[in-house]
Amino acid sequence: MALNILVLGVGNVLLADEGAGVRAVEQLQHRYVFPPQVELIDGGTMGLDLLGYLDDKSHLFILDAILSTEPPGSVVIKKLLDPPAYFRQKISPHQIGISELLAVAAMQDCLPPSITLFGIVPLDLSTGIEMSSEVNSAVAGVVSAVVKELGLLGVEVASAIR
């Protein structure tokens, strides 16, 4: 299977740190130029409406705020061997949409063979569009981690800033 990578940022940007995954995708789009085999999507809270984006993908990178015992602003990167099982636990306010998305994708046999979660532990989930400084710093770390992971797959990403 040729490389066909989806970088999917999910979350609600109206709930402060909950939108960290979407903000990370925005930074990737602003700071880098990607080759055609890499698609970046602001998935927001679309849930099952994202199913069509998974077709024929070799890799799925999910960028999301996650609940964890790690301190706020921590970055948690996990290769998901059984993604629907992983998302059965409640890990974020919108996670039901991601859980359903991955479960339906598995049933329709369109789940990408490689799925990596780039999670950020939130500090503030109140209503508001500003992220906490801890999570804002963590978003930069996730952006770097995604670019590094793409490089390990042999994908060249160019800087958009000249």
Residues 6+ apart with CB under 8 A from 79: 114, 115, 116
Query: What is the per-residue pLDDT across 112-135, written as a single tens digit (0 to 9) for each?
Result: 999 999 999 999 999 999 999 999
Query: What is the per-residue pLDDT across 20-51, written as a single tens digit (0 to 9) for each?
Result: 999 999 999 999 999 999 999 999 988 888 99
- What pLDDT, on the 0 to 100 scale, is given for residue 103? 85
Mean of the per-residue pLDDT values of the chain: 91
pLDDT tier, 83 (very low <50, low <70, confident <90, very high otherwise): confident
The Cα–Cα gap between 142 and 81 comes to 20
